[in-house]
Structure 1
């Protein structure tokens, strides 16, 4: 990632117990945040509007629960957080940059009210309306790979989901299990989603969040 005002890129360093930002020109740690049992590599995206990429991480806090955090790229402070249930394998979150200079984030898990093994959920997070997540429940499936990307510059963003056997299931000799690649537009998920409240702030409604997602235009600019 590149920090404005710096002559060289900065590196995000992940260890078993921390996430740190290293300025490569000075070989100096800009900030460091303690973590525990990260479930995947961090995801970059613009949550605030300071021009510096922010970082979404997920850590295992026990009892099949993960803590999802967005860290400020400039200081490492927590900008947003929420606990969700999760399953294994746990797909890594993704982000797509918008023409408004912030990103929208997509992640997977289960809300506290959805503890059945038959339904998993995808979530959409809008940084300007982060009091609510949009939750779309899907039939449970083993997600091998997940990626968000642009379909048409400035207009449509989609995500690809590869599902199939996760390698832990026993398959009898001669038997095969299908691997399926699915593509969906992110905006198509909006109409099929319901609001999941993150904070006690009730000033934002589900319809307001959905309308903001419908108005989004996306950018192919690199972070």
Structure 2
């Protein structure tokens, strides 16, 4: 019978060999020796001491570095600032961009000055213009310091800021088309000229607004530009490189007559079409077709067969239900891609962005200002309609998807009131800002109106409340509510003073932090009763948090 040890060796031969090797290593001469293994508790204590010693050294290094290398200072942002220009005329233009890279949005604006710059030794003659000429200025959003300013054109016709330059340059440009004067691109950070070309339009040509950005047709990494002009009853399109300002090909006729207010629309096939208001209907032309007509070369851009079938090949008109002369045209977010909001002299209509079928119609509307988008319900787009004029004006907030009225309030308007504005809040709604005059019971509207333009704030969580933030007695040329610092700093930017053709006077640019205006505001109760005191209402508005639009 096989011994059990031999059986184990046959089953696990390597185990037996390993045991012998270990025995030979412990006692190579075959003698019995007594080797005591190190104490396990002693090794554990050594490891513990080494671990805590290493941890202490790491923490010590972190604390030393944190004191020796201070964190960068966040720039202090003033709640209010103002700069003035004497004997100047204001232009209806405001834009915001982080010019000095301090993570706070700065303010870009235009003004026409009879003298040299108030802050820099630059005059119209330095750039070859006669006085007065148009200056562009960049002002720090944090404290109102003029970062740069310079004369750019004789008389401004079109301006567009925030246009990125070619890949890798990191530059952003403001592009100004003078009338007359140069077509010029100015570096937003430094104010230096990136390119400049004389405008090539004839004396009888009207330049239509706005300046349109089109896809990068010359493949240089920067969006290109489209200028629409009208001579007699024909609209023509001029294509320009956004990086050099060189004209791309020859001007091409769109085959239509039209007015200001054109937009660039992208269909669900990804095709780009120019939409031009043509009295009571829409005219259109594909960017692809315009490029091929201007250059004689094939374009990589798309066309949409469905739209080509809709377009009348002779008149380039689209079959839409405008119900009167078209006043405003907007791209708005839709369920799939972009839809179109069309405002005519008789109605406000939402059109499907592909087949142009009406989704809803607000009839008998007298909308004389461009609508404003926002959010009344969380993450649900709404549109602000100012319906009517003067004492009959109503503010309406409509659900963009259905056209249902979510909120309405009579708010008489005054001549020269700016357009409404909105700003997204952290609860995925929007704060809305209206200009007008809410007349308290027994008050005389004429007497109140003499005090100036009144600014009201509204938030959907308090539908029975308006907060009167301020009133401005000087003429308002441009107004914006912007988030100068992400999630921090909502501010009203006002450009006030005389505008052409008024004689020159005092032009001012001012910033007011919204939160600083709330404590001294007047609470307007739109309905009887209400659970909150006036101070509780102010506190709720003070605690609003804002978010950047994505």
Say whether the fold is shared (TM-score over 0.5).
yes
Is 1:212 the counterpart of 2:526? The answer is no
Compared CA separation, residues 180 and 112, structure 1 to 2 (3 A): same
Q: CA deviation at 1:9?
A: 1.2
Is 1:131 the counterpart of 2:458? The answer is no
- RMSD of Structure 2 on Structure 1 (CA): 1.9
In the aligned structure 1, how far is the partner of 2:529 from the partner of 2:439? 18
Q: Secondary structure at the match of 1:134?
A: strand
Is 1:2 the counterpart of 2:2? The answer is no
More helix by share: 2
Query: Is the CA contact 1:45–1:96 (under 8 Å) kept in the aligned structure 2?
Result: yes
1:157 equivalent in structure 2: 490
1:30 equivalent in structure 2: 359
1:76 equivalent in structure 2: 403
Q: Secondary structure at the match of 1:191?
A: coil
Is 1:18 the counterpart of 2:347? The answer is yes
1:100 equivalent in structure 2: 427
In the aligned structure 2, how far is the partner of 1:204 from the partner of 1:212? 10
In the aligned structure 1, how far is the partner of 2:533 from the partner of 2:501? 42
Q: CA deviation at 1:187?
A: 1.1
Query: Is the CA contact 1:36–1:61 (under 8 Å) kept in the aligned structure 2?
Result: no
In the aligned structure 2, how far is the partner of 1:39 from the partner of 1:184? 27
Q: Secondary structure at the match of 2:435?
A: strand
Q: CA deviation at 1:139?
A: 4.1
Unaligned runs of 5+ in 1: none
In the aligned structure 2, how far is the partner of 1:194 from the partner of 1:157? 19
Query: Is the CA contact 1:129–1:204 (under 8 Å) kept in the aligned structure 2?
Result: no
Q: CA deviation at 1:163?
A: 0.7
Q: Secondary structure at the match of 1:85?
A: coil
Q: TM-score, normalised by structure 1?
A: 0.87
In the aligned structure 2, how far is the partner of 1:27 from the partner of 1:201? 45
Bigger CA radius of gyration: 2
Query: Is the CA contact 2:389–2:412 (under 8 Å) kept in the aligned structure 1?
Result: no
1:89 equivalent in structure 2: 416
1:180 equivalent in structure 2: 508
Of the two structures, which has the highest relative contact order with CA contacts closer than 8 Å and spacing of 6 or more? 1
Q: CA deviation at 1:72?
A: 1.1
Compared CA separation, residues 145 and 61, structure 1 to 2 (3 A): closer
Q: How many residues align?
A: 213
Compared CA separation, residues 36 and 123, structure 1 to 2 (3 A): same
Stretches of 4+ moved more than 3 A in 1?
Answer: 166-169
More strand by share: 1
Q: CA deviation at 1:111?
A: 1.6
Of residues 140, 143, 153 in structure 1, which corresponds to 2:473?
140
2:453 equivalent in structure 1: 120
**Cα deviation digits, residues 16-53 of structure 1 (max 9, x gap):** 1111111213432111112433231001100112x231
1:221 equivalent in structure 2: 549
In the aligned structure 1, how far is the partner of 2:500 from the partner of 2:525? 35
Query: Is the CA contact 1:37–1:59 (under 8 Å) kept in the aligned structure 2?
Result: yes
Q: Secondary structure at the match of 2:541?
A: helix
